[in-house]
Amino acid sequence: MSLVEVTDLSVEFGPLRAVDSLSFSLAKGAALALVGESGSGKSTVAGALLGLHRGTGARVTGAVRVAGTDVQAASDEELRRLRGAKAAMVFQDPLSSLDPYYAIGDQIAEVYRVHARVSRRHARARAVEVLDRVGIPDAQRRSRSRPHEFSGGMRQRALIAMALACEPDLLIADEPTTALDVTVQAQILDLLHTLRAETGMGLLLVTHDVGVAAESVDDILVMRHGGAVERGPVGTVLAAPAEAYTRELLDAVPRVDARRTGSPATDEVVLEAMGVRREFGRGKGAVAAVDDVSVTVRRGETLGVVGESGSGKTTLGRMLVGLLEPTAGALRYEGRPHTGVNPAVQMVFQDPVSSLNPRRSVGESIADPLRACGERDEERIRGRVRELLERVGLEPAHHDRYPHEFSGGQRQRIGIARALAAEPRVIVCDEPVSALDVTTQAQVVALLGELQRELGLALVFIAHDLAVVRQVSDHVAVMRRGRVVECGPADEVYDSPRESYTRRLLAAVPALDPELAAQRRAARREPAVA
């Protein structure tokens, strides 16, 4: 009998049909990845396996059997016995998925005691045991820590430990590594792999990242609009996709070995940072987010800045555009020292939601730089805004719409149009595509490239995704703990990294080829420190 048997599953949230007649099954001990872009319904499916839609107003039809339990028909009590004991779930954001007020060990013990009639002490011991199992060093002591005292990777390990506590038959991992840095992601994926090998439990992995799927599962199910597009062994699907959508999806995934082509780079230096430093806090508590960083941006060139969270890349970006004053060091624009904001240096922000004022029409937002530099002629402003909208690939008629009426990719285009309105020479892009689905991501990256060629813009492209950065950059600066550890032409840095940190980063990038992934995993066998 299959571990999971989903037949004709549909889930509706009001008028929205999130999952549409989906059927699939998962054998005991097998691993399946649900892959899809946002809105494809993959997380909704994961929730349906544990009956989490019950009581939320969602309409669930079809049949779901998990580890012998008919989820649709089960009583609340039966459902509770299924949850955690037979099928356990690991969530995306490990910080918010744990109760901030209780020690990690207590939370695991609490869950354990729901399913096992054991004493408090016994449950605590079990918690320490599973924490040790997932590679938490000094588990006895650390089990008394609260979630915020753990690093992101450790928290995800703790969540996995919680899932392991009752020895479930099925582990459902919903975007388990999305919130993590690439090196930590590799460790967590390795851990899942090892655990599966040792316990023989089944794995249902929900992810938007094809690379992550390639690393971890046997079978892959590509989803779109709530339905299945393609299902097959991971090697087959990735190597020879049968469906056009799958191909499109795979093509859009940036490759870490893809070089940049057709760069309009010149030698003319536009913007320079010299030994900039930025501290936050005062006195003894001051922390340097950026420390003694010097970078040069040339006309027509893209400078990529990569680094993991906390490396100071966003702070650097904000200093380059003048939103933050450097504590020390100086900026030079076209050879002249300068401070504060400068219309010629613009920025494209990470979050397309928060970078547009929800209460103003997009046309108004784009017109801001025009008005700010003194333009009063409404006709000309309107004309210029329509032109800009058109230039970034949007309908000029959308001038009067509000941000929430646009998709993420479209909003990012609006952000670009606003930056362009100031006729900048430099645009600092702070994670411009990391909130977007891969297909959209590719389009936005392409747009930026076009604009650069056309307008001779200098771009600073800040991202955590090594593959994207390689795709767009002429030069690359690798940042770690506020400093640039390695800087040079992109090809040099990627192909023959000098620093071991750079090498570690590159080794952690998931490969699309499952065999390559297996090789890399073997190579990575270093102490698991998240």
- For the purposes of burial, counting CB atoms within 10 Å of the CB of 238, is it exposed (0-12), middle (13-18) or buried (19 or more)? buried
Residue 87 forms beta bridges with which residues? Answer: 83, 170
Please identify, among the stretches 128-136, 190-198, 397-405, 488-496, the one whose residues bind other proteins according to the rule CB under 8 A. Answer: 397-405
Pattern 474-513, other proteins, x by CB under 8 A:
----------------------------------------
Residue 201 three-state SS: coil
Q: Output 265 or 314, the one with its CB closest to other proteins.
A: 314
The correct pick among 19, 34, 160, 162 for binding other proteins (CB under 8 A) is 162
Name the residue among 182, 178, 136, 183 with its Cα closest to residue 157.
136
Residue 166 three-state SS: coil
124 membership: H or E segment, kind and range: helix 120-133
Q: Is 321 in the site for other proteins (CB under 8 A)?
A: yes
Q: Output 302 or 355, the one with its CB closest to other proteins.
A: 355
Q: How many residues form the binding site for other proteins (CB under 8 A)?
A: 97
Please identify, among the stretches 147-155, 269-277, 295-303, 515-523, the one whose residues bind other proteins according to the rule CB under 8 A. Answer: 147-155
Give CA–CA dist 254/470, Å, rounded.
Answer: 9
Distance of CA 258 to the CA centre of its chain: 20
Q: Is 315 in the site for other proteins (CB under 8 A)?
A: no
Nearby residues of 2 by Cβ (< 8 Å), 6 or more positions away: 25, 26, 27, 28, 65
Q: Is 339 in the site for other proteins (CB under 8 A)?
A: no
The correct pick among 239, 328, 372, 529 for binding other proteins (CB under 8 A) is 372
Among residue numbers 40 through 59, which ones bind other proteins (CB under 8 A)? 43-44, 46-47, 50, 52-53, 56-58
What type of residue is 512? Answer: L
Nearby residues of 80 by Cβ (< 8 Å), 6 or more positions away: 114
Q: Is 284 in the site for other proteins (CB under 8 A)?
A: yes
Kindly report the number of other CB atoms within 10 A of residue 485's CB atom.
18
Kindly report the number of other CB atoms within 10 A of residue 501's CB atom.
18
The correct pick among 211, 241, 312, 369 for binding other proteins (CB under 8 A) is 369
The correct pick among 27, 63, 114, 125 for binding other proteins (CB under 8 A) is 114
Q: Is 294 in the site for other proteins (CB under 8 A)?
A: no
Q: Is 346 in the site for other proteins (CB under 8 A)?
A: yes
Distances (CA, A) of 517 to 292, 383, 521: 37, 52, 6
Name the residue among 230, 200, 236 with its Cα closest to residue 218.
236
Look-up of token digits 């890399």: 520
C-beta separation of 16 from 226 below 8 A: no
> Two tokens at 267?
């030698």
Q: Is 279 in the site for other proteins (CB under 8 A)?
A: no
**How many CA atoms lie within 13 Å of 348's alpha carbon, on the beta-carbon side?**
32
Give CA–CA dist 288/505, Å, rounded.
Answer: 23
Among residue numbers 452 through 481, which ones bind other proteins (CB under 8 A)? 463-465
The correct pick among 13, 132, 264, 524 for binding other proteins (CB under 8 A) is 13
The correct pick among 65, 208, 277, 391 for binding other proteins (CB under 8 A) is 208
C-beta separation of 179 from 152 below 8 A: yes
Please identify, among the stretches 22-30, 131-139, 262-270, 321-329, the one whose residues bind other proteins according to the rule CB under 8 A. Answer: 321-329
Q: Output 265 or 319, the one with its CB closest to other proteins.
A: 319
Q: Is 215 in the site for other proteins (CB under 8 A)?
A: no
Q: Output 265 or 476, the one with its CB closest to other proteins.
A: 476
Name the residue among 266, 263, 318 with its Cα closest to residue 297.
266
Look-up of token digits 């929900």: 206
Give CA–CA dist 177/59, Å, rounded.
Answer: 29
Q: Output 265 or 480, the one with its CB closest to other proteins.
A: 480
292-309: burial string, b at 16+ Cβ within 10 Å, e else: ebebbbbbbbbbbbbbbe
The correct pick among 294, 354, 496, 519 for binding other proteins (CB under 8 A) is 354
Pattern 219-258, other proteins, x by CB under 8 A:
----------------------------------------
Instruction: Name the minimum Å distance from CB 47 to other proteins.
Output: 3
Q: Output 104 or 512, the one with its CB closest to other proteins.
A: 104
Instruction: Name the minimum Å distance from CB 495 to other proteins.
Output: 25
Instruction: Name the minimum Å distance from CB 512 to other proteins.
Output: 17
Instruction: Name the minimum Å distance from CB 368 to other proteins.
Output: 4
> Two tokens at 248?
């499109």
Please identify, among the stretches 179-187, 271-279, 328-336, 383-391, the one whose residues bind other proteins according to the rule CB under 8 A. Answer: 179-187
Instruction: Name the minimum Å distance from CB 43 to other proteins.
Output: 5
Instruction: Name the minimum Å distance from CB 426 to other proteins.
Output: 12
C-beta separation of 248 from 59 below 8 A: no
The correct pick among 85, 195, 295, 392 for binding other proteins (CB under 8 A) is 85
Q: Is 98 in the site for other proteins (CB under 8 A)?
A: yes
Please identify, among the stretches 174-182, 240-248, 262-270, 387-395, the one whose residues bind other proteins according to the rule CB under 8 A. Answer: 174-182
Please identify, among the stretches 98-106, 118-126, 388-396, 445-453, the one whose residues bind other proteins according to the rule CB under 8 A. Answer: 98-106
Q: Is 177 in the site for other proteins (CB under 8 A)?
A: no
> Two tokens at 12?
């509706």
Look-up of token digits 């799927």: 213
Q: Is 110 in the site for other proteins (CB under 8 A)?
A: yes
Q: Any idea what the Cα angle at residue 304 is, between residues 300 and 309, rounded to 5°?
A: 155
Q: Output 51 or 265, the one with its CB closest to other proteins.
A: 51
- For the purposes of burial, counting CB atoms within 10 Å of the CB of 13, is it exposed (0-12), middle (13-18) or buried (19 or more)? middle
